[in-house]
Amino acid sequence: MTFSGFITEYKKRLGVSYREISDATGLTPATISRYKSGERIPAKDSVHYQALIRGLTELAAEKGEVTEQEIIDDLSSVYSTDTDTFNFYGFRTNLSLMMDRLHITLKDIADAVGKDVSYISRIKAGTRHPADPGKLASLIAEYVSRKYTKRYQLEVVAELLDHRLAEVSDDNARQRLLYNWLFSDEENSKKYVDGFVHKLDRFNLNEYLSSHKGETSIKDELVDIEKKCLSYNLEDVLMLQRTLLDKTITEGQGSSLDICWNMSSSELNKTYISSDKLLRSLAEVLEKGIRIRIININSNPMNEMIDWLEAWLPLNMTGQIESYYLDRADSDVFISSLMVSDVAALTSEGLSDNKDIYRSYITSDQGEIDYFKRKFEGLIELSDRMIDVIGRDNNEDRREFLMKDKETGGKRTNILSTPPIYTISDSLLKKILKRNDIAPEDSKMILKYIHNERKRVMEVLEHSQVEDHIPEVSREEYDKKPVFLSLSGLFYDKDIFYTYEEYIEHLKQARDFQEKNERYSLLIRNDLDYRNIQIFIHENEWVMISKNKSPAIHFIVRHPVMRQNLEDMLETIAR
Together in a domain, 229 and 329: yes
By DSSP bridging, strand 553-557 and strand 542-547 are antiparallel
Together in a domain, 383 and 405: no
The residue among 254, 249, 305 whose CA lies nearest residue 282 is 249
The residue among 323, 239, 312 whose CA lies nearest residue 280 is 312
The CATH number of whichever domain residue 35 belongs to comes to 1.10.260
Between 422 and 567, name the one with better pLDDT: 422
**Domain assignment present for 202:** no
**Domain assignment present for 328:** yes
**Domain assignment present for 377:** yes
DSSP 248-296: HHHH--S-EEEEEEE---HHHHHHHTS-HHHHHHHHHHHHTT-EEEEEE
Residue 423 CA to residue 503 CA, distance in Å, equals: 12
Together in a domain, 380 and 244: yes
Together in a domain, 381 and 414: no
Which 3 state secondary structure label does DSSP give 454?
helix
**Domain assignment present for 192:** no
Which 3 state secondary structure label does DSSP give 116?
coil
Instruction: Name the pTM for this structure.
Output: 0.69
**Domain assignment present for 108:** yes
**Domain assignment present for 197:** no
Asked if residue 350 has pLDDT above 70, the reply is yes
Asked if residue 485 has pLDDT above 90, the reply is yes
Residue spans of beta strands (DSSP E) within 391-453: 412-415
Residue 139 CA to residue 451 CA, distance in Å, equals: 58
Together in a domain, 141 and 260: no
By DSSP bridging, strand 520-525 and strand 466-471 are parallel
**Domain assignment present for 117:** yes
By DSSP bridging, strand 533-538 and strand 412-415 are antiparallel
Asked if residue 185 has pLDDT above 70, the reply is no
Packing angle between helix 171-183 and helix 88-102, nearest 10 degrees?
130
The residue among 276, 285, 266, 278 whose CA lies nearest residue 237 is 278
Together in a domain, 272 and 328: yes
Together in a domain, 262 and 330: yes
Over residues 430-453, the pLDDT tens digits come to 999 999 999 999 999 999 999 999
Residue 317 CA to residue 286 CA, distance in Å, equals: 12
Together in a domain, 73 and 96: no
Range of the domain at 419: 393-571
The residue among 423, 437, 438, 379 whose CA lies nearest residue 514 is 423
Distances (CA, A) of 208 to 74, 211, 213, 219: 53, 5, 9, 22
Q: How many domains does the chain have?
A: 4
Residue 279 has a pLDDT of 84
The residue among 316, 318, 354, 314 whose CA lies nearest residue 335 is 354
**Between the ranges 40-49, 286-295, 347-356, 420-429, where is the mean pLDDT highest?**
420-429
Residue 308 CA to residue 316 CA, distance in Å, equals: 10
**Domain assignment present for 290:** yes
Asked if residue 490 has pLDDT above 80, the reply is yes
Together in a domain, 403 and 430: yes
Residue 293 CA to residue 393 CA, distance in Å, equals: 18
The residue among 537, 520, 541 whose CA lies nearest residue 571 is 537
Together in a domain, 563 and 419: yes
Residue 298 CA to residue 328 CA, distance in Å, equals: 7
Over residues 42-85, the pLDDT tens digits come to 767 677 788 889 889 988 888 767 888 888 888 887 765 544 45
Together in a domain, 239 and 168: no
Residue 97 has a pLDDT of 82
Last residue of a domain, one of 342, 360, 387: 387
Residue 82 has a pLDDT of 47
Residue 148 has a pLDDT of 93
Are the C-beta atoms of 293 and 324 separated by less than 8 Å? yes
Angle 297-301-304 from CA coordinates, rounded to 5°: 90
Last residue of a domain, one of 28, 48, 78: 78
Distances (CA, A) of 270 to 219, 233, 298, 355, 483: 21, 18, 17, 15, 37
Provide, for the chain, the percentages of residues in helix, strand and coil under a 3-state DSSP scheme, each rounded to the nearest 5: 55, 15, 30
Over residues 90-149, the pLDDT tens digits come to 788 889 888 877 889 999 999 999 999 998 988 887 777 787 888 899 999 999 999 999
Residue 478 has a pLDDT of 93
Last residue of a domain, one of 354, 387, 420: 387
Mean pLDDT for the stretch of residues 288-299:
84
Asked if residue 410 has pLDDT above 80, the reply is yes
Asked if residue 561 has pLDDT above 50, the reply is yes
Residue 39 CA to residue 41 CA, distance in Å, equals: 7
Residue 522 CA to residue 513 CA, distance in Å, equals: 9
Residue 575 has a pLDDT of 33
Residue 516 has a pLDDT of 94
Over residues 188-216, the pLDDT tens digits come to 555 566 677 777 777 777 777 666 665 55
Together in a domain, 422 and 526: yes
The CATH number of whichever domain residue 292 belongs to comes to 3.30.870.10
Are the C-beta atoms of 229 and 351 separated by less than 8 Å? no
The CATH number of whichever domain residue 511 belongs to comes to 3.30.870
**Backbone φ, ψ for residue 398 (5° rounding):** -65, -45
Over residues 223-266, the pLDDT tens digits come to 666 667 888 887 788 888 888 999 999 988 778 999 998 755 45
The residue among 432, 448, 452 whose CA lies nearest residue 494 is 432
DSSP 332-385: SSEEEEEEE-SS-EEEEEEETTEEEEEEEEEE--HHHHHHHHHHHHHHHHH-EE
